[in-house]
Each structure stands twice: as structure tokens, then as C-alpha cells.
């Protein structure tokens, strides 16, 4: 852990939140993507995060931040919808759409945005505290 562990911890969380928001925006952008029936549907991406434990010589005990543990993908089966006039429809008139819900994606986006804002606030408050400490003058 470095000299400013609060900044490093919140900075790692900002990175995780940014990747999370990128995945959600990719999901929303591909919500109406229709693939040929014999191909897999677009699979929603979910970012999995985990806490990084603090090291033994951590003077403050705030932990080591967060990191991306992995990415999970949604169902490749998707949702079947009857659209016989679509160019990718099979002989029964079915097309394959991603198995995603816009309201769920928007909820995830709001959570990621709020978490990002909270970590920015932590960094801003820590910066203010460090700046005030630099302005302390001896008597």
C-alpha cells in the first residue's frame, strides 16, 4: 500500500465501476440485436468484482480495494420471437433476440453510476483532507 491508501482504494473501485458501466452500455446497445436463428443470441455481460484484502503492513486497515474477478455471460439461447418477415427468421418464422430486460439493465446502470459518484466523492474528500494537512503551520 502506498502513501495515500484511500486514493488507491477508491481509484481501484472507480476502475471496476467504469468497466461495469461499459458492460451495461454494451448490453443496452445490443438489446435489439437479432442474430440468424442458427447462431447464438447476444449474451449479456455481467462484471463480477471482489474485494482485495489488506496487506499485513497496512497502517490504516482500509483494505486493498477492489478488482474484477471475472465476467459472466447470459444465455446464448436468447428469447424466441415470431417475426416471419425478418431476414433472419427460420422456417417457422422465429428469430433469436438477447435474453435481457431493459429495466434490469437500467437498474444496474444506476447502481454503477451511484457507486462511481460515491468513490469520486471519497477521493474528493480525501484530497481536501490532505490539502488541509499541508496547510497546517507550526506555531
Predicted confidence (pLDDT) per residue in 31-57, tens digit:
999 988 888 999 999 999 998 877 666
Whole-prediction pTM value? 0.81
Rounded CA separation 19/61 (Å): 26
Give a yes or no: residue 96 inside a domain.
yes
Q: What residues have CB less than 8 Å from 20, skipping those under 6 apart?
A: 47, 49, 108, 112, 115
pLDDT of residue 129: 86
**Has residue 14 been placed in a domain?**
yes
- DSSP state letter for 48: E
Q: How far apart are CA 9 and CA 17, in angstroms?
A: 13
Question: By C-alpha distance, which of 61, 79, 85 is closest to 5?
Answer: 61
pLDDT at residue number 2: 54
Structural domains in the chain (count): 1
Whether the Cβ atoms of residue 30 and residue 23 lie closer than 8 Å to each other: no
pLDDT-flagged residues of the chain (< 70): 1-3, 55-63, 139
Q: Give the per-residue pLDDT at 35.
A: 86
Model pLDDT, residue 117: 96
70 in any annotated domain: yes
Beta bridge partners of 66: 51
- Per DSSP (E only), the strands in the chain are 45-51, 66-73, 79-82, 94-97
Is residue 118 assigned to a domain? yes
Residue 139 lies in a domain: no
d(CA 2, CA 9): 10
User: Which domain covers residue 85, as residue numbers?
Assistant: 5-134
Helix (H, G, I), strand (E, B) or coil at 75: coil
Amino acid at each position: 500500500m502506498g502513501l495515500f491508501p484511500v486514493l488507491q482504494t477508491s481509484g481501484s473501485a472507480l476502475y471496476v465501476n467504469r468497466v461495469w458501466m461499459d458492460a451495461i452500455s454494451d448490453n443496452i446497445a445490443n438489446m435489439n440485436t437479432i442474430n440468424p436463428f442458427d447462431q447464438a443470441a447476444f449474451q449479456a455481460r455481467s462484471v463480477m468484482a471482489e474485494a482485495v484484502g489488506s496487506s499485513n503492513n497496512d497502517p490504516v486497515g482500509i483494505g486493498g480495494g477492489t478488482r474484477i474477478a471475472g465476467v459472466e455471460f447470459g444465455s446464448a439461447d436468447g428469447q424466441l420471437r415470431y417475426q416471419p418477415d425478418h431476414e433472419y427468421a427460420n422456417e417457422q418464422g422465429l428469430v433469436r433476440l438477447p435474453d435481457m430486460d431493459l429495466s434490469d439493465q437500467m437498474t444496474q446502470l444506476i447502481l454503477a453510476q451511484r457507486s462511481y459518484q460515491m468513490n469520486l466523492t471519497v477521493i474528493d474528500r480525501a484530497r481536501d483532507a490532505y490539502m488541509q494537512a499541508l496547510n497546517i503551520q507550526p506555531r
